[in-house]
């Protein structure tokens, strides 16, 4: 049995692992997706002390740092269930293996929100993708749409515009909600066309995506001919594990935590984009901060006799 099992291989998880190791706690960090949503960041310009780095590079740095500690064990596996035991928790993994820990830190982050229109499921992987910054390269010289108006969508459009022939940035509101830096980047590109106050009601195609249908005409037609569609309409908390073990969630499905990142279940802590902390400001800096606080709380919890 280890002192702490961290579930989630992203920014919050690796930061928590680093701090747990510094507190000399035996630590297992486990998850089925290396790097979390940080892997989708093509450019990171707001990590203090580093003016520019890609998301994958930053996450590799986090992982390498955490694994320099002998007390940290890393495992790539899907967690199926968490069960309370007399002296801690049992964690069941896909394939039948179980691991045991005195405490848990949940850092499972978020999952992409689906558009929920006809054609989305049928053409997923056949022109429909959920990460413009990850997949834009595959659409070099082609026409694509990015759906959404937040940071991920507008950043994705700016990145896609570097390789695509035309990028249609489709947003249901009058104005984008993204950071002004990315809005300015998009407006500086002459191959990005803003399709505002429109919603996609269907993704159309044959064996692969051929276009989208809008809820009302734009530029004389209710359809846009495309080779690819990037759905970037936000994310929902990946809180299924937390809910199943009894952690209280807020009305939006995020895990409720106190100032010390404690959940409603004694011995279980949470950090990062999964939580209702940090004003829901999902950033590398907030995820890292919450991960460090969670590790500190685990240390005090274990040393208070639990």
Tell me how far apart the alpha carbons of residues 250 and 276 are, in angstroms, rounded to a whole number: 7
Helix (H, G, I), strand (E, B) or coil at 288: helix
Q: Which of 3, 11, 20, 134 is catalytic?
A: 134
Q: List all residues 6 or more positions away from 15 whose beta carbon is below 8 Å from its beta carbon.
A: 62, 271, 287, 288, 289, 291, 292, 295
Active site residue 134: yes
Structure tokens at 231: 């759905």
Q: Which of 11, 20, 131, 247 is catalytic?
A: 131
Tell me how far apart the alpha carbons of residues 84 and 5 are, in angstroms, rounded to a whole number: 13
What are residue 249's DSSP bridge partners? 255
Task: Give the Å distances, CA to CA, from 159 to 51, 112, 191, 192, 300.
Answer: 18, 19, 12, 11, 44
Active site residue 135: yes
Please provide the DSSP assignment of 276-287 as one string. S-GGG---HHHH
Spatial contact of 37 and 136, defined as CB atoms under 8 Å apart: no
Structure tokens at 216: 């009302």
Active site residue 87: no
Spatial contact of 189 and 178, defined as CB atoms under 8 Å apart: no
Give the catalytic positions in this structure: 131, 134-135
């Amino acid at each position: 049995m280890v002192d702490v099992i961290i579930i989630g291989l992203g920014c919050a998880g690796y930061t928590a692992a680093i701090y747990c190791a510094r507190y000399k706690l035996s630590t297992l960090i486990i998850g089925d997706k290396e790097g979390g949503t940080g892997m989708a960041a093509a450019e990171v310009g707001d990590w203090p002390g580093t003016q520019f780095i890609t998301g994958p590079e930053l996450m590799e740095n986090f992982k390498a740092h955490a694994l320099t500690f002998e007390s940290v064990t890393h495992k790539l596996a899907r967690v199926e269930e968490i069960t309370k035991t007399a002296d801690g928790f049992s964690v069941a993994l896909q394939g039948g293996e179980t691991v045991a820990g005195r405490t848990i830190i949940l850092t499972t982050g978020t999952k992409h929100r689906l558009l929920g229109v006809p054609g989305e499921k049928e053409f997923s992987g056949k022109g429909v993708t959920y990460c413009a910054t990850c997949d834009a390269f595959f659409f070099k010289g082609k026409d694509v749409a990015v759906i959404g108006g937040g940071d991920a969508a507008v950043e994705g459009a700016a990145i896609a515009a570097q390789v695509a022939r035309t990028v249609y940035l489709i947003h249901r509101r009058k104005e984008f909600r993204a950071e002004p830096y990315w809005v300015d980047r998009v407006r500086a590109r002459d191959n990005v066309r803003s399709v505002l106050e429109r919603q996609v009601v269907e993704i159309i195609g044959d064996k692969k995506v051929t276009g989208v249908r809008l809820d009302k005409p734009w530029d004389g037609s209710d359809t846009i001919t495309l080779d690819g569609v990037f759905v970037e309409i936000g994310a929902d908390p990946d809180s299924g594990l937390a809910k199943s073990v009894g952690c209280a969630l807020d009305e939006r499905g995020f895990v409720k935590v106190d100032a010390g990142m404690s959940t409603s279940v004694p011995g279980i802590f949470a950090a990062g984009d999964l939580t209702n902390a940090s004003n829901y400001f999902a950033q590398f800096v907030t995820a890292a901060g919450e991960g460090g606080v969670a590790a500190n709380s685990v240390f005090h919890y274990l040393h208070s006799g639990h």
